[in-house]
Chains A and B, each alone.
Chain A
Amino acid sequence: MNGLVVVGASYAGVQAALSAREAGYAEPIRLIVDETSLPYQRPPLSKGFLLGEASEQSLVLRDETFFRDKGIELLLGTSAVRVDRQERRVALADGARLDFDRLLLATGSRARRLSVPGAEREGIHYLRSLRDAQTLKAELDAAASIIIIGGGFIGLEVASTASKLGKNVTVIEAASRLLERTVSPVVSQFLLALHHQNGVDIRLSETVARLDKDGDRWTVTTGSGAALHGDIVLAGIGGLPNIELATEAGLACDNGILVDAHGATSDPLVFAAGDCTSHHNSFAGQQTRLESVQHAQDQGKAAGSAVAGKTSPYTSVPRFWSDQYAAKLQMVGLSHGRDHHVIRGEPDQSGFSVFMYRQNRLIAVDSVNRPGEQLIARKLIGAGVSPSPAQAADLSFDLKALPLPRAAEGARP
């Protein structure tokens, strides 16, 4: 038996390999890691690691002993370059070929690149990998200022970190509010005020026209004609799924490798999980590609179990989180199509939640510094139970008192 080959060793790949084992898969499992380091945690890269609080060693996700104990072979420092589905074989960059019975693609996503004049210059930062973070950290430590293009999670987390480090920070965001596609306007407004309080210059409804570099100094010319100067330029303008391997292998893809609830692709011997996939999400009511740790882990679990022949469909409520300054931002559910919202608590740093509805159904809850409320919200949305907007807005109403159907237990992570 040739066993399972997993391509990619971030959250989805590692979880899938582990879940296949735990579900009883007894054949060899090989995990292709295109970096030279052990699989590591990514959320701290934009925060604790840049701040110097988290060391490279503390980022390690699972030790070598873990993989050895689970009988998962790590192939570090190589990448898959081609998949031959007829021969059931993967060709690696180092010339090796691996035969497989089952293949699992967890190829992740990459940073979308800037496409304005000057974007091809050396030295523009993107933040995805440990190596990206190491390069950025080395420069940031010596810099006085940073210009961040994009007011999404990466941009705002780096803005928060750089501000804590005493740097001059400017954020350029094309939309009229922060995290427009992810959070409610109330939370956008809260975050804008929070960044302002910390001295960050945020330019909304602003674009980048061109990038120039004179010596070590960058000039970013904006769409409205302003010339901003900084030592570092970081772009955080979204991610693109790594689907080239899958496309060339003839697997069905559309903004992600198409998978079912078990992570199966259009080839029943090939599975996929994580950022690189697109699945029908019942909470979104449509085909969806998600980039989050929770999604990668939970879908990895479903796909790994399916490899072993066990059924464990991916039905988790989507969740996201971000830490900026002292604010813990948590989001559950998918909010597009919301037509009504109420606020529970006061929108300040002491903590509040925004309950969002579509046709009287609770579809998403954003919270700042309210982790307990998020846990309740997750159960409610997972179970399809909606408090009335009046109940949600009433701090004296105990949301835990709402009856949940028994199946709601499954909505737990």
Chain B
Amino acid sequence: MPLVRFVEPNGAERTLEIVTGTSVMQTAIRHSVRGIEAGCGGCLDCATCHVYVDDSQLHAMPPASAQEDAVLAAVAAERRPTSRLGCQLFVPVGIETLIIHIPETQL
């Protein structure tokens, strides 16, 4: 199974297996990864599963949809070119370990 490495703002890391068909957000919630709120459960309703994809992997990710882009406009932490919503992110084929940076705040 592919892996996701979550990197907290203080540098602490956790690497978790991602169940096929589940999103980065869902993986974080199942394992209680700090810093990802996901108030809406993954339906583009809340902007609280904001994450940064690692710079080195950005090119491998499919772009955000127009709807995801609209919700990203409302994230609490700084929005960067690598900003994504965890609920819309899946590990692309060809990547063994997706590296995800958690923002300072979601609320």
- Size category of the binding interface on chain B: 20 to 34
A321 touches B30 (CB 8 A): no
B43 CB, min distance to chain A CBs, angstroms: 5
Report the stretch among B4-12, B50-58, B68-76, B93-101 that lies at the interface.
B68-76
Bound CA span A375–B29, Å: 22
Residues of B within 8 A of A65 (CB): 31
- Nearest neighbor of B26 in chain A, beta-carbon distance: A58
- Among residues of A, the one whose C-beta sits closest to the C-beta of B76 is A412
Q: How far is the CB of A304 from chain B (nearest CB, A)?
A: 14
Q: Which of A61, A297, A409 is within 8 Å of B30, CB to CB?
A: A61
In A372-390, the 8 Å CB interface with B consists of: 372-376
Contact B70–A58 (Cβ < 8 Å): no
B74 near A372 with CB under 8 A, answer: yes
Contacts of A298 in B (CB 8 A): 39
Residues on B with C-beta less than 8 A from A397 are none
The answer on a CB contact under 8 Å between B37 and A413 is yes
Partner of A66 from B30, B40, B45 at Cβ < 8 Å: B30
Tell me if B67 and A328 are in contact (CB < 8 A): yes
Inter-chain CA distance A61–B32, complex, in Å, is: 11
Q: How many whole Å from A392's CB to the nearest CB in chain B? A: 17
Query: Do A375 and B74 contact each other (CB < 8 Å), given the known contacts A321-B45, A328-B44, A413-B48?
Result: yes
Chain A window 50-72, contacts with chain B (Cβ cutoff 8 Å), 1 for yes, 0 for no: 00011101101111011001100
A199 at interface (Cβ–Cβ under 8 A)? no
Q: Which residue of A is nearest B67, CB measured?
A: A371
How close is A128's CB to chain B, nearest CB, in angstroms?
17
Contact between B39 and A321 (Cβ–Cβ < 8 Å)? Answer: no
Q: Which residue of A lies closest to B68 (CB)?
A: A371
Question: DSSP majority for the B interface?
Answer: loop
The residue that B31 contacts in the complex, of A43, A54, A66, A373, with Cβ under 8 A, is A66
User: Would you list which residues of chain A between 357 and 413 have a CB under 8 Å from chain B?
Assistant: 369-376, 409, 412-413
Q: Judge if B21 is at the interface, Cβ distance under 8 Å.
A: yes
A293 CB–B CB distance under 8 Å: yes
Known contacts: A297-B39, A371-B67. The answer to whether A58 contacts B32 by CB under 8 A is no
Task: Select the residue from A62, A297, A412 with max chain B CB neighbours within 10 A.
Answer: A412
CB pair B46 A413 closer than 8 Å = yes
Q: Are B21 and A55 in contact (CB under 8 A)?
A: yes
**Smallest Cβ distance from B51 to chain A, in angstroms?**
17
Q: Is the CB of B32 within 8 A of A293?
A: no
**CB-CB < 8 A to B39: which residues of A?**
294, 297-298, 413
Alpha-carbon distance A374/B43, docked complex (angstroms): 12
Given contacts A43-B41, A371-B71, A413-B46, contact A58 B22 (CB under 8 A): yes
- A58–B74 alpha-carbon span in the complex (Å): 28
Say yes or no: is A319 at the interface (Cβ < 8 Å to chain B): yes
Q: Which residue, A53, A54, A321, A375, has most C-beta atoms of chain B within 10 A?
A: A375
Does A63 lie within 8 Å of B70, measured CB to CB?
no
In the assembled complex, B60 has its CB within 8 A of some CB on chain A: no
Q: Kindly identify which residue among B21, B41, B70, B107 contacts A41, using a CB–CB cutoff of 8 Å.
A: B41
List the B side residues contacting A53 at CB < 8 Å.
Answer: 21
Specify which chain B residues have a CB less than 8 angstroms from the CB of A265 in the assembled complex. none
Q: Which of B20, B21, B41, B73 is in CB contact (< 8 Å) with A372? A: B73
Q: Which residues of B contact A63 (CB under 8 A)?
A: 30-31
B71 and A369 within 8 A (CB): no
Tell whether A330 is near chain B: CB-to-CB under 8 Å: yes
Which residues on B sit within 8 Å (CB–CB) of A57?
Answer: 19
The CA of A319 and the CA of B46, in the complex, are separated in Å by 10
Are A376 and B67 in contact (CB-based, < 8 A)? no
User: Chain A: which residue is nearest B73 at the CB level?
Assistant: A372
Shortest beta-carbon distance from A51 to chain B in Å: 12
A280 to B97, CA, bound (A): 47
10 contacts between A and B (CB under 8 A): A58-B21, A63-B31, A66-B31, A323-B43, A328-B44, A369-B67, A371-B71, A372-B71, A375-B74, A412-B46
Contacts from A to B (Cβ < 8 Å): 41, 43, 53-55, 57-58, 60-63, 65-66, 69-70, 293-294, 297-298, 319, 321, 323, 328, 330, 369-376, 409, 412-413
- Report the 10 A-B pairs with minimum CB-CB distance, sorted nearest first: A372-B70, A413-B39, A375-B74, A58-B21, A413-B46, A63-B30, A371-B44, A371-B71, A58-B22, A66-B32
